Each structure stands twice: as C-alpha cells, then as structure tokens.
Amino acid sequence: MLALYGLWHRDRSKTWDEPRWSAGEFVPLRAASLEGARELWLIPVNPRCPHCRGHLAHAAAALKRGAGARLGILLVDTPQPPAASAFASVAVDGLWWDARETWRRRWGHRVYGEVLVFDAAGRYMRTMPPGFDGAVPGLGAAP
Amino acid sequence: MHQMPLARPVRPQSRFAPAPSLLAGVWLTGVAVAWLAVTRSQLAQAGMDDVLEAAGGAAAPSLGFLTFTSVLGRFFALSMEALFYSVWWRSLGARFRWGRFLVTIASLSLIDAWAETLQGLVRDNAPSLAAWLAPVLGLGLLRDRGVAGEPAWTMAFASLGLATAVRVTLTARAQAREIGRGIGLPLLLTAGVWFLSRVAVWWAMDLARGMSPLP
C-alpha cells in the first residue's frame, strides 16, 4: 500500500502540460486541412488496441461534420507508425503519429480511444472518455 | 471376566466430506453462472458489444471471452480473499476452514450481483428512484455513466451502501463462527480490508488513467 501510495502521489503531484494542438508537434501520415474547422476531435489510437476502432467508430458517429468539426487519429505508443494502408478504410480527416510521445509524457493522458477536443486555434477545450454517452457540448446528443 | 469388545473408534467426520464438497461444487457453479449472467449484462450495458463488433478482426476478444475471464478473475479474487483471512486467523492460532469460508464469501458475493443488477435496472428504467435507492444499492447510482471528469475515488467507492455493509457484516460473522469468537475483531478486520482495497482501487485507477477522464 505504501509503494502504491508513493507512485500515486508522485504521479498526481506532477505538473502536466495542458494539451494543445500544434500540427508541427506530430508527424502527419495523411494530409488534413483543418481550415474552416470549428473543432478538431483527436482520438489517440494504439494500432495494437483491439477496441480502438470501435471507439473511433463511436466518435465518428457522434461527430456531426456539418457542425464544422473534424476528426483525426493520433497514433500513440508505437515506435514506428503502421503502414498508411492500415487506416485507409477509416473515414477520418487526418492521421498523425505521436513520435515524441507528447500525449503520454507531456500531457499525461493514458486512455486510448478518448476524444481530445481543440478549437480552431488549437486551444484545448475538453476530453471525452471512450464510448462517451449523453450530450456532446455544442453538438447535441451522442448516439 | 468377559471383557466388552471395544467399540470401533468413531472416525471423526471429515470437515469437508465428499457429499458436502459435491454440494459445494454445484453451489459454486450456480454462483458462477449467476455472475456470468450479471457480467455479460453489465458489459453489454457499457456498450462493449458494440465496441467489440466495431473493432472486428481476429485480435478483438469476443464478449463471451471477456465475460468468462472477468468471472474467472472474480473467483480468483474470492479465493485470495478467503486465503488472506485463513492465513490471518491461523497465524493467531485459530482454526479456520478455507474451503468452507470460500463457499460462504462466494455466496455472499451474490449480494453484490443483486445490487449491481438493480443499479442497472434503476439507471435504465427508473432514474428518478436513483437518489432514494443509492444508500441501499451503492452511491455509484448517483453518478451518471460516461461523464468526463469524475474523480476516480467516486468510482472506487461506488459500492458503498447498505448492501455492501450487509455483505461485510456477514463476512465478518462467518469468520467469527469459524474462529469461535465474537464478531468485533472480524468486523474490524473485514471493514478495514474493504476500505483499504477501495483506496488501492482508487489509486490504481488514477495511475492507469493519468490525466484522461474515466469512461
């Protein structure tokens, strides 16, 4: 219990960077123009995670593209990005590889399939958990 | 003088004779089946069937496999709990029957199954009753599913309620019966173990999620 407390206390007292969308921070694998977008929904996906595609499909269904939001995948916790063909069939606006492990090491996030929402200027707005339910702020109800 | 033949020594009855052990096995199988049904329903309510279906591919486990491993994990945890109490009381010189106690706490776990099933029913069919039933079924009933920003401790202590209090008390009573003492010390031990296990779950959840919101 003491060891667990030590780990927990160190982790919770660490100062993490607030997420911020900056295209230069990540390696683009599929070109995506965010021009004119009101929001970017960025979903961290581990290529080996069997549930991630399900969470991706859920977020894609919840997202109303007409509302000006774009959907992007951030490939995390992978030393090499998978072949572009691996995500060719997934209907997203952009695909990036987190080569510097920003999502885990600087932002302190750890749950695959969550949805990080940024505004048009790249400012962090909120994070929704995987398989989120209920109303999506500004976009209405999730399926 | 005629000597009376010695009566055949009475063989002490086995603490876990074949017939009771068979009955215990059948009963434990019934408890496992009940947990399989509850766990499958919970995973479906959490949308795991949709997620797994959307995930597709050979790498995605089936809902049945997830349910089975979850119940297997629960029974492993129950075995460890019984082993812990057994080692604790035996180290203090008390007699303690691990197998019999395992059957008891597995049976008492059905209180949790009942409370969790009712929680799901109340959430889906009578949300207006949630605030009234939360003190009985668990304070987790006050929390909406899938809401971001909930602290991990609210999930760790979601089972806090009358149902859990009854289970903890009956677990302590079973120990008191095993060791042939009053319920005071067993109750203190069981409540302490329950509290520490919840705190450990809280910290472990925080470590697993980092800054991410809980699903």
Under 8 Å between Cβ of B193 and A91: no
ipTM over 0.85: no
Contact of B59 with chain A, judged by CB distance below 8 Å, is answered with yes
**Closest alpha carbon to A70 in A27, A24, A103, A119:** A119
**A132·B203 Cβ contact <8 A:** no
**A11·B210 Cβ contact <8 A:** yes
Q: State the architecture of A22-132 in CATH terms.
A: 3-Layer(aba) Sandwich (3.40)
Query: Pairing state of beta strands A135-136 and A140-141?
Result: antiparallel
Domain parsing of chain A, residue ranges: 22-132
pLDDT of residue A83: 76
Under 8 Å between Cβ of B15 and B97: yes
Contact of B151 with chain A, judged by CB distance below 8 Å, is answered with no
Paired strand residues for A72: A42, A94
Chain A residues closer than 8 Å to B52 by CB: 50-51, 54
**B215·A110 Cβ contact <8 A:** no
> For the CA atoms of chain B, what is the radius of gyration?
22
CB atoms within 10 A of CB B78: 20
Paired strand residues for A136: A140
Distance, in angstroms, between B79 CA and closest chain A CA? 20
**Closest alpha carbon to B163 in B141, B179, B143:** B141
Chain A residues closer than 8 Å to B196 by CB: 1
Mutation choice for A interface testing from B66, B212, B214 by most A CBs within 10 A: B212
**A54·B52 Cβ contact <8 A:** yes
- Percentage of residues in chain B with pLDDT exceeding 70? 81
Under 8 Å between Cβ of B97 and B178: yes
pLDDT tens-place string over residues B177-206: 999 999 999 999 999 999 999 999 999 999
Contact of A52 with chain B, judged by CB distance below 8 Å, is answered with yes
Say how far apart CA B187 and CA A80 lie, in whole Å: 54
Torsion of CA B65, B66, B67, B68, to 10 degrees: 50
pLDDT tens-place string over residues A43-101: 999 888 877 877 888 787 777 655 678 888 999 998 888 776 777 777 788 889 999 99
Output the CA torsion sign for A89, A94, A99, A102.
Answer: negative
Please provide the DSSP assignment of B137-194 as one string: H-GGGGSPTT-TT--HHHHHTTT-SHHHHHHHHHHHHHHHHHHTS-SHHHHHHHHHHH
**Closest alpha carbon to B67 in B47, B38, B90, B91:** B38
pLDDT tens-place string over residues B80-129: 999 999 999 999 999 999 999 999 999 999 999 999 889 888 988 888 88
Q: Which of B51, B60, B204 sits opposite A55 (nearest CB)?
A: B51
pTM assigned to the model: 0.77
